[in-house]
Structure 1
Amino acid sequence: MTDDLLARATALDAADPLAAFRDRFVPTSAVSYLDGNSLGRPLEATARLLDDFVRGQWGGRLIRGWTDGWMDWPLTLGDRLGAVALGAAAGQTVVADSTTVLLYKLTRAAVDARPDRRTVVLDTDNFPTDRYILEGIAAERGLTLHWIETDPVTGVHPAQVADAVGPDTALVLFSHVAYRSGWLADVAEINRIAHAAGALTLWDLCHSAGSVPIRLDEWGVDLAVGCSYKYLNGGPGAPAFGYLRQGLQDELRQPIQGWMGHRAVFEMGPGYQPASGARALLSGTPPILAMVPMHANLDMLAEAGIEAVRTKSLLLTGLVLDIADAWLTPLGVEVVSPREPERRGGHVTLRRAGFEELLEPLWDSGVIPDYRRPDGLRIGPAPLSTSFTEVHHGLSILRDLAEKQR
């Protein structure tokens, strides 16, 4: 079986139309990097762009860089991201802040736009930031949180949402891909159910942007937020992005009224007047230096195509599942991710008591997965930087360590 799996991985690499993209990344000392769902690897082009920006644009143009185009980067990069990865027409996406800050802005804007509704629906297994932000806003605004109990293996289902929403629901908030299990939610159907009840929808795209095709406009999404440091390879602490549907831009008002969201940024007037369109989502000075990597990453993703990325992602996670069944399940490891391709995001979670003890020996062996308490290893191969034989090699080392531990 070991030889069969290796032969399969080798054959997949030989037939991989995206294989050449691996050479565009900065070399790594890791022998198997399986944490692209947490932090993507840097591109060689990113290093060149950063050097050029520091020496040429920042060092050469100095403050004139703002009028050279920096001021518009949150919008121009947002439009590019929308076109390449989000299925969003221009004028609806901005790059700014962190996921946490944008979640606060968009949630507050949504619930304030529905003052006669006092309930927000969310699920118990969503990422902690999403839950914490909603708890804070609920306390701040006197709202009720309706919690959907979700199985970490399967995630939220449309039927659960239908049972939870009603005439008092202002907003529903879920993740497109569940951070723990990789469950891929049925966004379009959940949106239909929420809208029928008169509620707005807000989606967290952190674990899907750059890995799974997203169609915000087609699916009727109202608001969305996500990060750029996972499959979009933006680097540690890279800025987030926010999406506000065109038809809501005159109605919703985000609460952090900073000068960059003013209708006339340099007028410095006495009162706040929001800009039109998605620019009103901005608050403070954009993190221009941190946006530089996005130029290289969006160029690469546009060239590769998100559909091709998704095809390889499913092949990669399918290989993970087959290797886990063959090698790890007999050692007491449980797969806690969807097996159906249409319900699986870009990573697979493996669970066994004692996995935390294997982290250091895995790292010492050059294998880097992602660990989530209490006992889960997330295997997140990034399609543009990870080979099939790299997955095979990393999981073979995990198997050997798990055997020894057992």
Structure 2
Amino acid sequence: MQTELSRASLAQLDANDPLIRFRERFQLPEGVIYLDGNSLGALPHGAAERAAQVVTQQWGHGLIRSWNDAGWFELPTRLGDKLAQLLGANPGETVVTDTTSLNLFKALASALRIQQVDGPDRRVLITERDNFPTDIYIAEGLADLLNSVGAETGVSYEVKLIDSETELLAALGDDTALVSLSHVNYRTGAMWDMAAITEAVHQAGGLAIWDLAHAAGAVPVALNAANADYAVGCTYKYLNGGPGSPAFIWVNARHHERFWQPLSGWWSHQAPFAMAESYTPANDVRRFMCGTQPVTSMAMIEVGLDISVEAEMDKVRANSLELTDLFIELVETRCAGYGLELITPRDHARRGSHVSFSHPNGYEIIAALISRGVIGDYREPAVLRFGVTPLYLSRTDIWDAVEILREVLHTGAWQREEFTVRNAVT
């Protein structure tokens, strides 16, 4: 007989959950239920101390010697190898560096360069219309740059936007250079079948680039098993690296010798301190970098990364699915009749680790929730987004958050004028 769903029954499940111990590894404000780890992860205990160590000891006392003595120079590749454990990647394929946007530019440029040799008539870049905006902007910007340079030769690159898997498969053809998709959609939480899509792209002669910003640390990722070509992503969401922490880029080993990028900064040089007059790329993963690395923020990444590796992704994924199922069930039963419409897939195989509902007054409702200590976020158009991070969220947190949502809707508290004022960051 199934136990009746109640806060008490959920508390009992929490008490026996092997992941509950990780909650103590994060600094969470009293009276706050944090459902925005899909946008900015919580602060891990030890991260501030790590930053202080870099600043006061390594910089303060070690000064420039710390590039060698404290291992600053190796940080990008060392963190990349550690992150690879969560990406289904091999050592030497991943580097932590720059931003997601810059890394995507590198990956796109590299893929197009390869296609110039293997398929010179392949000049169509396919991406999802509902992809994260920067992914579209970067692709369009690169296409515009190439078209302006090649205007006299008649060479023309095109960014083609698709709205569904059916449209994607229909769009693949002899002109396809690459397909660039987010593994988990930032707005809806919908997840692509990476292996199946990559295979279809390859059969059409294209290359597959994956944005893992809403996947890394939240869902199982198997880049090499899927035979993907490139991947990029950030470290400040589910990996809890800190606001604006450096991103990462992964390149399948089969492309390493062919990897080319126009951002050929000195840190990607084979011998940066030879100060050579001409550029020779490093013969390993370091060729994916560009300029001098931000050591303090990069050092903090390791604290959250260590927690994610320790937690084991299969357990995190199991809890994520259970908690998102619970959130959907509670909202649909306890908040019925208030106009919330689920836009996140119910199918586990197609769902990431955040749940989104649409509502005409989504911004106001989220603002009202935040004022009550339930922190989610809002995305245009009319989307309430709730991130579920099993490392520091419990079943009772989900119950309490939905109860506050129900009260906000039932009382109409969201209609207060103060909640209509838009913040710069939503």
Give the partner amino acid of 1:133.
I
Q: In the alignment, is the contact (CA less than 8 A) between 1:29 and 1:366 conserved in 2?
A: no
Equivalent residues in 2 for 1:5-404 (5 A)?
Answer: 5-68=6-69, 69-83=71-85, 85-115=86-116, 116=120, 117-142=122-147, 143-150=157-164, 157=165, 159-404=166-411
Q: In the alignment, is the contact (CA less than 8 A) between 1:79 and 1:92 conserved in 2?
A: yes
Tell me how far 1:288 sits from its aligned partner: 1.0
Tell me how far 1:273 sits from its aligned partner: 0.8
Give the partner amino acid of 2:391.
L
- Per-residue CA deviations over 1:160-194 (Å, capped at 9, x if unaligned) read 33211111111100010011111111000111011
Q: In the alignment, is the contact (CA less than 8 A) between 1:161 and 1:190 conserved in 2?
A: no
- Per-residue CA deviations over 1:227-256 (Å, capped at 9, x if unaligned) read 000000011100000001100011120110
Tell me how far 1:271 sits from its aligned partner: 0.7
Tell me how far 1:30 sits from its aligned partner: 4.4
> Partner of 2:179: helix, strand, or coil?
strand
> Partner of 1:250: helix, strand, or coil?
helix
Q: In the alignment, is the contact (CA less than 8 A) between 1:121 and 1:147 conserved in 2?
A: yes
Counterpart CA distance in 2 for 1:23 and 1:400 is 29
Give the partner amino acid of 1:49.
R
Tell me how far 1:8 sits from its aligned partner: 4.0
Tell me how far 1:12 sits from its aligned partner: 2.7
Counterpart CA distance in 1 for 2:371 and 2:262 is 46
Q: Which residue of 1 aligns with 2:153?
A: none
Number of aligned positions between the proteins: 396
Segment drifting more, 93-102 vs 43-52: 43-52
Counterpart CA distance in 1 for 2:100 and 2:238 is 15
Counterpart CA distance in 1 for 2:98 and 2:207 is 22
Q: In the alignment, is the contact (CA less than 8 A) between 2:35 and 2:386 conserved in 1?
A: yes
Q: Which residue of 1 aligns with 2:152?
A: none
Segment drifting more, 33-42 vs 396-405: 396-405
Moved over 6 A (4+): none
Q: Which residue of 1 aligns with 2:5?
A: 4
> Partner of 1:203: helix, strand, or coil?
strand
TM-score norm. by structure 2 comes to 0.90
Gaps (5+ residues) in structure 1? Answer: 151-156
Counterpart CA distance in 2 for 1:357 and 1:321 is 20
Q: Identity rate of aligned residues, in percent?
A: 41
Gaps (5+ residues) in structure 2? Answer: 148-156, 416-426
Counterpart CA distance in 2 for 1:170 and 1:360 is 43
Q: In the alignment, is the contact (CA less than 8 A) between 2:241 and 2:302 conserved in 1?
A: no
Counterpart CA distance in 1 for 2:28 and 2:162 is 43
Give RMSD over aligned pairs: 1.4
Counterpart CA distance in 1 for 2:9 and 2:137 is 43
Q: In the alignment, is the contact (CA less than 8 A) between 1:86 and 1:214 conserved in 2?
A: yes
Counterpart CA distance in 1 for 2:79 and 2:259 is 22
Q: In the alignment, is the contact (CA less than 8 A) between 2:93 and 2:250 conserved in 1?
A: yes
Counterpart CA distance in 2 for 1:54 and 1:357 is 41
Tell me how far 1:59 sits from its aligned partner: 1.7
Give the partner amino acid of 2:247.
A
